[in-house]
Amino acid sequence: MGQDFFQSIAMTKHPDKHKDREVPAPLLREVQLEEVSRPKFHVPWQKDPSWEEQQEQFKQDLDRLRIWSKPFLKNYLPKMNLQIKTIQLEDFEFRYLEQNEVFMNQNDPEKKWTHVRIPDYKGPAEEDGNWEAYYKYEFSLALLNQEIQSCQEKDRVVLRFQCVDYIAKVYLNGNYIGSHEGIFAPFSFDITKYLEEDNELIVLCKNEIPILGTGPVLDGDKIYAATGPGWDDSDLGWHHCPAGAGIFGKVELQVRPEIYVDDIFVRPEIDLDYVELRIGVHNYTLEVKEDYEFCIRLMPRNYVGKQIGELTAHISYIGPGKNEYRYRIPVKDYRLWCPDEPWLYGAFIEVKKDEHAISERIRNFGMKKFVSDESCTPKGKFYLNNRPIVLRGANEMGNLQQCAMSGNISQLIDDILIAKLCHMNFYRITQRPVQDEIYDYFDMLGMMNQCDFPLFGFLRRPQVSEALKQVGEMEHLVRGHVSTCMVTFINEPMCIRRTENPEDKFSKRYEMKGHRHLQRDELEAFFQAARKVIYIENPDRVVKNAEGDYDGPTLEGMPDFHCYTMWYTNHGEPIGKLMRGYLPPVKEGWMTGCGEYGAEGLDNEDVMNKRYPKEWLKDSVDGNWYPDKIVKSQTYLVHGDWYKEQQNVHDWIVKSQEHQAKATRLMTDAFRRRADIINQTAIHLLIDAWPAGWMKALVDCERNPKRAYFAYQKALIPLRINLYTGRNHVYDDEVVDIEAWLLNDTAENRNLTIIAEIFEEGEDRPYQTFEKAAEADAANACYAGKINVRFQQRKEQNRTVIIKAGIFDENYILLNQETLNLQIYRRQSTEIESYVYGRAAQDLADKLVYTKKKKIIGETLDVWMLSKFDSDILAKFENYIKSGGRGILLMTEDTPAFQLFEYQVSTRPGTEVFFAAALDVYEKYSIEMVYNNKKGYVDATASCTIETTIPGRDIVYTYDKKPTESQLGPKPRKPIVKICRIGMGTVILVTLCCNGRIGYNPGLDQLMIKLIEGEIV
């Protein structure tokens, strides 16, 4: 008998009975900044730089950082006497295999080869991602460098690959040498016995569909997430890191001694002043070797100084194949590694036989301790060298790999410095490990990093063992790098589980993917096994199971969420709640990370003109330009929730970048205000690898910053003041509370003085001044109190009031300042006769209509306002409209469909929008990011649109996010306010959210007053 439905649900339930819970906003103390007649001293407020000044300052500051970096890039380590003889293999021949082609046909003279230079990475990808290709390299010993021929009789010739994506099968002179699966790990083969005078190397490179898949059902076994180097192809290779393949790391012939030091790992223990040294030795013979010794010296790399430790140790024996020896060496007079002072050392290892060096190797290391404290409350507070730290950074999706692959080390250095210039202290190397030299420069330049295993969403059951092998390879690759502080196993795991509702996305995903991938209890078992693999390689590693967990909580370790709420509206947490202090549901009792957030900003115009295909920049048939032709750009479809369609390339760029900067500022500030629970944030992403690659990047592929880069740079200043309010548009008869926060990402507690001054725009003297002494705890956020801002009564209908707040040290030196502008309005009302029916209509009238509202239908009235649509009231409303009346119908997503005259009227629920576009003449009424006084935070402008057959004008609207191909260009509009002429009368349909908003948002109030008064027709 088959399982019943509920038994199936039980078998796919989450292994943790506890669910993630939304994090509530913090409870704030009732404390205020004291208003004073004048500050203790004149405050030297600084002027905010212009866009042009910021760009120029960026260049100057980058030059300054280049100078800073030079001492840390130096290498004072001694040269090895026994240099490994290495020949780079770069010029290969390449061809794709035909369907059903076998290896015996690889030299078919009919097949055409093309020249490629290693590193090489290419498509096809997506649904065409299953392919095989040959890389061929021919070499003659007589023509090669003399180093190969002059090797010692017992030396070995080793073929080493830095990385091949995805499966490599290696043949030399027709002999199968070996294979490797994976996208990132180095591997090598001893080819000594296969060498001939003339040699042919063939690498069969096989690509597969990734586990994440493409389209609704097609998936494969490739352990690849959604990030790679990409390739130069505007149709596919530029965009969102398609899963190409190739030999995209170095290929080398190395001459090695038969006893060879092939690995060094230094584990520092700064609390006890020693290091554990793990030395890997490869014995290329089949014999046991005896009577060898290690000579070990630990020396400064990037400064001149004395050894910090040494050891001479007898080696009992060296068995065939790989061996690992471990020694504990006391160290003294060393310098700690940290982002500001990345001091490095070198472990110089010699293997000696009868006083003669047989093999030598040097490995860089740093003295560092990074831990996640799981004994504190909440668990998971980070400490670097026993001092608290918050990780602030960005995602990386290909730009650093492109630098490494092209050998452009100066650009690689600059890309790291661009991050440091932005006050970042870590990179999330997103969804895959990368080439070793990238980590080398992280080490040298003090850039901590998180290394992700390349899984996204799912793990195929047949690939569990392979995944565990690759987890070990990942940790082995990065464990020796002092800059790597944390690893993860999967990005955005998705729920594969039946629920009580067979039509929800989880049940449907179970039907489509449940037979292909691990379910959550099995995935947790994989996490546990992977952690043990990591432990064997490196017991000190901090592990975070999942990045952006869509099926939390994970059973072990800290949680993480992703939040794109100002792009994919309400993703993670609505922006108003996020700004107020709420956080998405996460594991209780733990610190959490936010590994991705951000919004798209179009490339700078120079990049478009220089790099984009010309057809992308052509105007539409209406004479305007739209970003609809930019492959995989999201701006065209998503922007309407946040800003209006523009008419030309320049305006689109400016508007999109302004929104990106706003989203960056608001979200980063919100996360920093929750440093009590968030210990890691990474914006998505810093630098684009290609034109139109990932346009959420803050810096384009030509390394020109967008506006959001400077917003992020300012938001990440380690010690700063932050002003928060949910209201930027207020009335002059109100007193507005502005929250003052101290954001301290440093490791030091700070005693500070806060001074805030309130100015009328254009005036130099403040009309209010506030002051308070406050303490900013290390690696945390401190709520300092409210600034009670009142407004002077003036004749202007609207004006700007400027709040300037700064923090000062004990010597009254200004450390940081922030400016907040408030738009001030005189409160308005209307004096008309109206009939009101329904609670929402009554509330609207109570807030905006200040005369007696007549409820006798027979009398002459200026306007009807209805929010309840009974059949009898609609019949009377129709008569009123026929007689030339004007009526406002306030509708919500819960409003039942009804008929008005011969027309159908209903609402269409959709994603909430925090912005509504308007015809030009009505744009002066600000109805974006409106404040909900009942909830106490910014709330949606609209949550549904109007569906009706009544002809009319859409004066406030949003956009269709799913236009058809034939609709490219200007997108169809979905009305939020629609004015319809019916006979002599006027019907105004409204789906603006008014509950809790009316009376507290001057723009919304003024728009509704104009509609009530009939000024908008």
Can you spell out the DSSP letters for 587-623? -TTB-EEEEEE----PPPHHHHHHHS-GGGG---TTS
Which residue in this structure is represented by tokens 């830095």? Answer: 162
242-290 pLDDT, tens digit per residue, is 999 999 999 999 999 999 999 999 999 999 999 999 999 999 999 999 9
Q: How far is CA 4 from CA 506, 508, 517, 520, 871, in A?
A: 18, 17, 22, 21, 46
Q: At what angle do helices 409-421 and 399-406 cross, to 10 degrees?
A: 150
935-986 pLDDT, tens digit per residue, is 999 999 999 999 999 999 999 999 998 776 666 889 999 999 999 999 999 9
613-662 pLDDT, tens digit per residue, is 999 999 999 999 999 999 999 999 999 999 999 999 999 999 999 999 99
List the structure tokens of 93. 């021949």
Distance CA 534, CA 693 (A): 33
Same domain, 483 and 599: yes
The average pLDDT across 498-523 equals: 88
Q: If pLDDT is split at 50, 70 and 90, which confidence band does 10 have?
A: very low
Which of 825, 844, 879 terminates a domain? The answer is 825
**Which residue type sits at 859?**
E
Same domain, 461 and 580: yes
The per-residue pLDDT for 204 is 97
Same domain, 550 and 690: yes
Q: Residue 682: in which H helix or E strand, if any? A: strand 678-683
Q: At what angle do helices 464-478 and 436-445 cross, to 10 degrees?
A: 40
Same domain, 834 and 931: yes
The per-residue pLDDT for 15 is 66
The enclosing domain of 460 has a CATH number of: 3.20.20.80
Name all contacts of 963-968 with Cβ < 8 Å and 24+ positions apart. Answer: 963/637, 968/620, 968/626, 968/628, 968/629
Distance CA 432, CA 223 (A): 10
Distance CA 357, CA 459 (A): 47
Same domain, 234 and 299: no
Share of the chain above pLDDT 90, in %: 85
Which residues have CB under 8 Å from 959's CB, separation 6+? 639, 640, 645, 917, 971, 972, 973, 974
The per-residue pLDDT for 509 is 86
813-834 pLDDT, tens digit per residue, is 999 999 999 999 999 888 888 8
Q: If pLDDT is split at 50, 70 and 90, which confidence band does 501 have?
A: confident
Q: Is 611 left (phi over 0), alpha (psi -120 to 50) or beta?
A: alpha
Reference 339, options 236, 227, 425, 441; nearest CA is: 425
Distance CA 666, CA 564 (A): 12
Share of the chain above pLDDT 70, in %: 96
Distance CA 784, CA 772 (A): 8
Q: Which residues pair with 298 in a beta bridge?
A: 309, 347
- Compute the mean pLDDT over every residue in the chain, rounded to the nearest whole number: 93
Same domain, 252 and 263: no
Distance CA 459, CA 791 (A): 59
Which of 256, 285, 318 terminates a domain? The answer is 256
CB contact at 8 A, 652 and 604: no
Burial category of 400 from C-beta neighbours within 10 Å (exposed 0-12, middle 13-18, buried 19 and up) = buried
The average pLDDT across 34-55 equals: 91
The enclosing domain of 205 has a CATH number of: 2.60.120.260
186-204 pLDDT, tens digit per residue, is 999 999 999 999 999 999 9
For the chain, what is the largest distance between any 2 Cα atoms, rounded to a whole number of angstroms?
A: 116
The average pLDDT across 536-545 equals: 98
Whether residue 835 is predicted with pLDDT greater than 70 in this model: the reply is yes
Same domain, 270 and 338: yes
The average pLDDT across 11-15 equals: 56
Burial category of 306 from C-beta neighbours within 10 Å (exposed 0-12, middle 13-18, buried 19 and up) = exposed
Geometric angle at alpha carbon 254, from 252 and 260, rounded to 5° = 135
Same domain, 676 and 632: yes
List the structure tokens of 793. 């009564």
The whole domain housing 350 covers: 259-366
Distance CA 920, CA 381 (A): 50
Q: How far is CA 633 from CA 335, 600, 695, 968, in A?
A: 47, 8, 7, 13
Higher pLDDT, 883 or 924: 883
Whether residue 384 is predicted with pLDDT greater than 90 in this model: the reply is yes
271 in any annotated domain: yes
74 in any annotated domain: no
The per-residue pLDDT for 11 is 44
Whether residue 844 is predicted with pLDDT greater than 70 in this model: the reply is yes
> What phi and psi, each to the nearest 5 degrees, are found at residue 776?
-105, 110
Whether residue 13 is predicted with pLDDT greater than 60 in this model: the reply is no
Whether residue 19 is predicted with pLDDT greater than 90 in this model: the reply is no
Same domain, 687 and 726: no
151 in any annotated domain: yes
Distance CA 600, CA 663 (A): 9
Q: If pLDDT is split at 50, 70 and 90, which confidence band does 850 have?
A: low
Whether residue 780 is predicted with pLDDT greater than 90 in this model: the reply is yes
Same domain, 938 and 1003: yes
The per-residue pLDDT for 698 is 98
Whether residue 418 is predicted with pLDDT greater than 70 in this model: the reply is yes
The average pLDDT across 686-692 equals: 97
324 in any annotated domain: yes
The per-residue pLDDT for 6 is 44
Q: How far is CA 261 from CA 292, 357, 518, 835, in A?
A: 12, 11, 39, 90
76 in any annotated domain: no
Distance CA 898, CA 978 (A): 16
The average pLDDT across 388-392 equals: 98
Same domain, 858 and 1001: yes
Beta strands in 319-464 (DSSP E): 321-330, 345-353, 356-365, 370-373, 381-384, 387-388, 391-396, 426-429, 448-452
Higher pLDDT, 930 or 923: 930
Whether residue 699 is predicted with pLDDT greater than 80 in this model: the reply is yes
477 in any annotated domain: yes
| Predicted model pTM | 0.95
Burial category of 48 from C-beta neighbours within 10 Å (exposed 0-12, middle 13-18, buried 19 and up) = exposed
The per-residue pLDDT for 830 is 85
**Which residue type sits at 752?**
L
Pairing of strands 542-547, 484-491: parallel
Whether residue 149 is predicted with pLDDT greater than 90 in this model: the reply is no
List the structure tokens of 256. 């090695």
The per-residue pLDDT for 146 is 66
Say how many domains are in the chain: 5
68 in any annotated domain: no
604, HSE (Cβ side, Cα atoms, 13 Å): 18
- Alpha carbon dihedral 431, 92, 196, 206, in 10-degree steps, equals 40
The per-residue pLDDT for 141 is 83
The enclosing domain of 936 has a CATH number of: 3.40.50
Q: If pLDDT is split at 50, 70 and 90, which confidence band does 83 have?
A: confident
Q: Which residues pair with 769 in a beta bridge?
A: 36, 757
Helix residue ranges per DSSP H, 177-245: none
The per-residue pLDDT for 9 is 41
The per-residue pLDDT for 147 is 60
Same domain, 787 and 849: no
Q: If pLDDT is split at 50, 70 and 90, which confidence band does 1 have?
A: very low
601 in any annotated domain: yes
The average pLDDT across 503-524 equals: 89
Which of 796, 825, 854 terminates a domain? The answer is 825
The enclosing domain of 350 has a CATH number of: 2.60.40.10
